[in-house]
Amino acid sequence: MRCRERLLAAAVTLAACVPAQAQGPTYGLGRTPSAEDIRAADTAVAPDGTGLPPGRGTARDGAGVYAQKCAACHGPNGTGTALHRGLIPLGNAKPVKIQGSLVPYATTVWDFINRAMPWTKPGSLVADEVYAVTAYVLYLNDIVKDTDVLDATSLSKVQMPHRDDFIPAQPGWKPGTRRQFGNYPKRQ
């Protein structure tokens, strides 16, 4: 099974002219990280919820965290301060043609708060706090109710406004792919 996969991969590789994919190592440099090292580094969360840790929280739980750890910069009501942007709406795609949050997945909000906030002490929140304060930020944006429970299964199901207003990413980029909205001469 594994062998067949490799053969297939090798065939695909040859077809795509990519060198040495799915073969043994050529140079033998580097070390194998321990499972623990990988777990510690691997904090990113995907739109389908892959990577979310256990934990839970509601906007009600998050109000206190917000007042204590976020309000100083983002304002007591999330509308921002002299130095820092507000959290309503989320994101700032340009030009602002769409009213409301422009972040397409709730996991994106969770992941950013988890990795980068609070600004001066990133990584200091425990999972329950991240779920709760994410719920609070979404609540400020009228996206969830104050009692909605966010956890590893419900977070990716939150329907963000405008999710379907975005043109999906193109995974199949290959060398030579034509640029979207390019100015190519008519006849070619």
Partner 1 sequence: MGSHPRSDRRRFLTSGGALAGFVMGATRPGRSQTAAPYEPQGLLAYGQPSRFANLVRRTTGRPTTITDTALMTPLQELDGIITPSGLHYLMDHVNGIPDIDPRQHRLLLHGMVDRPLTFTMEELKRFPSVSRIHFLECNANSRPLRGPNRESVQLVHGRTSCSEWTGVLLSVLLAECGVQQQASWIVAEGSDSNRYTMSIPLGKALDDALVAYAQNGEPVRPHQGYPLRLVVPGWEAIRAVKWLRRVHVVDQPYMAWHESGNNADTRPDGKGLWFRFELGPKSVITRPSGGQHLPGPGFCEITGLAWSGGGIVRRVDVSTDGGRTYREAELQQPVLPHAHTRFRFPWRWNGEEAVLQSRCTDQRGEVQPTIEEAAKILNATIDYFYQADHFNGIQPWKIARDGSVTNALP
**Of 109-128, which residues contact ligand HEC (CB under 6 A)?**
109, 112-113, 117-120
Q: CB of 100 within 8 A of CB of 87? A: no
**Could you tell me the smallest distance in angstroms from the CB atom of residue 94 to partner 1?**
5
Q: How far is CA 166 from the centre of its chain?
A: 15
The verdict on 125 binding partner 1 (CB under 8 A) reads: no
Cα 77 to Cα 57, 90, 127, distances in angstroms: 19, 14, 23
Scanning 28-36, 85-93, 147-155, 174-182 for contacts with ligand HEC by CB under 6 A, the matching segment is 85-93
**Residue 118, binding choice from partner 1, ligand HEC, none, Cβ under 5 to 8 Å by partner class:** ligand HEC
What is the phi/psi pair of residue 56, to 5°? -160, 165
Scanning 52-60, 98-106, 129-137, 144-152 for contacts with partner 1 by CB under 8 A, the matching segment is 98-106
**Of 135-164, which residues contact ligand HEC (CB under 6 A)?**
137
Q: Helix, strand or coil for residue 57?
A: strand
Q: CB of 59 within 8 A of CB of 139? A: yes
**Of 128-187, which residues contact partner 1 (CB under 8 A)?**
162, 165-167, 169-175, 177-185
Q: How far is CA 60 from the centre of its chain?
A: 23
Q: Give one word for 79, left, alpha or beta, with left for phi > 0 and alpha for psi -120 to 50.
A: alpha
The verdict on 74 binding ligand HEC (CB under 6 A) reads: yes
What residue ranges bind ligand HEC (CB under 6 A)? Answer: 69-70, 72-74, 84-85, 87, 90-91, 109, 112-113, 117-120, 133, 137
